[in-house]
Amino acid sequence: MPERRWHVSSAVIAVRPGRADEVAARLPDLPGVEVHGSGETRIVVTIEGWSTGDLGDRLTTISLMDGVISANMVFEHSEEEGALS
What is the model's pLDDT at position 57?
95
- 79, 71, 82: which is closest to 11 by C-alpha? 71
Residue 83 burial (CB < 10 Å; 0-12/13-18/19+)?
exposed
What is the model's pLDDT at position 2?
64
Q: For the chain, which residues make up each domain, given as ranges?
A: 5-79
Q: What CATH fold (topology level) applies to the domain 5-79?
A: Alpha-Beta Plaits (3.30.70)
- pLDDT tens digit at each of 85 positions of the chain: 567 889 999 999 999 999 999 999 999 999 999 999 999 999 999 999 999 999 999 999 999 999 999 999 999 998 887 765 5
